[in-house]
Chain A
Amino acid sequence: MRNYIIRRILLAIPTLIAISIIAFVIIQLPKGDFLDQKVAQLEQQYGDSSSIAQADALRHRYGLDKPMPERYIHWVSGFVRGDFGESFRYEREVKDLIWERLGFTVLLSIGSLIFTYLMAIPLGIYSATHKYQWGDNALTFLAFLGMSLPGFLIALCIIVLVYKVFGVPLFGLFSPYYQAQVGWSWAKVGDLVNHLWVPIIVISLNGVAGLMRVMRGNLLDVLGEPFVRTARAKGLKESVVVVKHAARIAINPLISMMGMSLPDILSGTTILSIVANLPTVGPLLLQSLQDEDMYLAGTILLFMSLLLIIGNLLADIALAWADPRIRYE
């Protein structure tokens, strides 16, 4: 097992390198760069072209006048020192900008992942054991609805609803009082937890709907197997048969899906954060893409992919732990 984990981590390194190249190329795709916008802005301000000289100086400072491979090497070589370049717009280090936001992104994503599975598995079991009954049909209908509603729409509706009913914008991760507070305190953490559940539910909705159906299908398959009949024949209680014997097996594919549902959850987090202006990397990514603030955008893409790789690895380890039949050499 340990060898397997080490090998997986080593294998992730070339993937990460490839990802960093792709991310870098993608963010270089737009014509021009951030400074073109800046020049236009400065020109409007001062009405002459002295700003072009200024821009050229900046371009030189940021290394934008160098060819692409050289810039890439420059960008990547900083990683070892924890240097991910500088944001043009904020004129600050990228890592300072995204560090806290990355934390909230991870928090929201993991929270949503856990919530998704906590909801989907029991609902799936219920749905399977009450096949074609009223509850199952209702859940099926809701699942279809949940899979079809785009997350940002649900978010929008909830925001509007909450605003209408309570007259306060519920979104955001903190109340205004704690928002202003610098640093952390227990009260602030409590406030965060209070605000966390709405976005988590919204992000999880699509995942819960889909996974619930998978769990239902798996469990129905397993319930037809001979060992379940044996368990029943032994005179075990139905609840024990379902939960301890059947569900135990039916869950395994869901665990291997954990790695696959992470990209969806991360996508959901991104969109929701943009709509509801949550302090994750999502809104920052959108803005940096619009501004062509390339080091910032590239680093965010890179970190999101890193999260997925880590998530996949953890999902595989969890699967090995949950299903002893799986052996890794």
Chain B
Amino acid sequence: MSDAEERAQSPEVAPVPFELLDETDVADLGSLSYRQLVWRRFRKSKLALAGAGVLIALYFITLFADFFAPYNYQTDNMLMRYVPPTHIHMMDSGRLRWPFVYALRSIRDPETMELSFVDDTAHAYPITLFHHGDGYRIFGLVGSNLHLIGSDGPFYLAGTDRMGRDLFSRILFGGRVSLTVGLVGVFLSIILGSLLGIVSGYRGGWMDVVIQRIIELLSAFPTIPLWMALAAALPAGWSGLQVYFGITVILSLLGWGGLARQIRGKVLSTRDADYILAARAAGAGQWYVITRHLAPMAYSHIIIIATLSIPGMILGETALSFLGLGIRPPMTSWGVLLEEAQRVTVVLHYPWLLISALPVVVVVIAYNFVGDALRDAADPYSA
């Protein structure tokens, strides 16, 4: 694959300005390993560091969503349907107070019959740290009912949905699915892509031809429609977990082609390099050459492509779930949450439902920043 094409597949993004290493650095450059050099470059991009920080924080929070979310994602309250985001008050009759919320009173508009909520200032509830709320078990082991933050009153940071479930909590729990779908999907496509790419490049011959034709064929389908068709084929009786893995397999099924092609190109260009020939002359077997010499060379490449293709998979899951073909309730993901915001009339009346879009955008941007800086850092020897 030519240079231009390679660039074309993964658009060059952030203009991460790399000043040449300053003089003190140059002195000990030679003694640094490849990994250290890459890290040196990577950390120069503030955007990428910020992105990485955001991602780590988000993965951590969603992993312990039970604790960080004020409610369980399935806790519903039919009296609190479509409640707008809660006002958090700090002033009480002119005096500063520990943050608190008021109880809500629902009022029905006599003309439109629409329900709306107003603060009931007679009842105030403080917001408490380490609040005792819905019970849960961490990893099914340790039981607890502690939540980082919560209140005995209505405490809906992002409002509630049509079943009176707290949207903020649902976003945190939904992140478990949305954030990991990309990881698992990319993992699968890396295995498929690097294996087939290396085989295709190293063995050549009819295997190469067959693999390349398959890749061409897969790329002849428009992504989303093919994903839709495959997702629609998932049996209706499947459990949440089965559907989850089904979706990741579908997402990775189309993702490996590009990776395989690039790795094949890399392998082709080094297959006859001196050190490979030397290894072979010394009696190294095919498997040894592939795992010890060819695969490590492609590692950096694989990691970059993986990072850059995760956002696509996250968006893919979101889009599929949004269309009602992906993750199925009661399991929740950001796409599932957005599905409820699909109809314009709903969004007009309950605009806070769109808040679920925010984490999607943040995560995708963060991944793009990180992937982009990684791509620049992967070649630390160039200026």
B322-A152 in contact (CB<8A): yes
Within 8 A of A (CB), among B232-273: 232-233, 235
- Tell me the bound Cα distance from A156 to B323 in angstroms: 13
- Tell me the bound Cα distance from A27 to B229 in angstroms: 7
One of B64-72, B73-81, B219-227 contacting the partner: B219-227
Instruction: List chain B residues, Cβ under 8 A from A214.
Output: 7-8, 11-12
Instruction: List chain A residues, Cβ under 8 A from B223.
Output: 263-264, 267
B-contact 0/1 string along A110-142, CB 8 Å cutoff: 000000000000000000000110001100100
- Option from A18, A145, A254, A270 in Cβ contact (under 8 Å) with B225: A270
One of B114-122, B157-165, B362-370 contacting the partner: B362-370
A150-B347 in contact (CB<8A): no
- Tell me the bound Cα distance from A112 to B225 in angstroms: 18
Instruction: List chain A residues, Cβ under 8 A from B232.
Output: 30, 289-290
Q: Is A51 an interface residue (CB 8 A)?
A: no
A267-B225 in contact (CB<8A): yes
Q: Is A57 an interface residue (CB 8 A)?
A: no
A263-B228 in contact (CB<8A): no
- Option from A169, A282, A308 in Cβ contact (under 8 Å) with B220: A308
A263-B222 in contact (CB<8A): yes
Instruction: List chain B residues, Cβ under 8 A from A211.
Output: 11
- Count of interface residues, chain A, beta-carbon cutoff 8 Å: 65
- Tell me the bound Cα distance from A268 to B357 in angstroms: 17
Chain B facing A: main interface SS: helix
Also in contact, A260 and B225, with CB within 8 A (given A148-B311, A153-B360, A271-B319): no
- Tell me the bound Cα distance from A136 to B369 in angstroms: 17
Nearest opposing residue in chain B for A127, CB measure: B15
Chain A facing B: main interface SS: helix
Q: Is B171 an interface residue (CB 8 A)?
A: no
A157-B322 in contact (CB<8A): no
- Tell me the bound Cα distance from A267 to B229 in angstroms: 13
Instruction: List chain A residues, Cβ under 8 A from B311.
Output: 148
A144-B221 in contact (CB<8A): no
Q: Using CB atoms and an 8 Å cutoff, list the residues of chain B in contact with chain A.
A: 4-5, 7-9, 11-15, 17, 216-217, 219-226, 228-230, 232-233, 235, 311, 315, 318-319, 322-325, 338, 341-342, 344, 347-348, 351, 354, 357, 360-361, 364-365, 368-369
5 A-B residue pairs with Cβ-Cβ distance under 8 Å, sorted by A, are: A19-B221, A131-B15, A153-B357, A214-B7, A214-B12
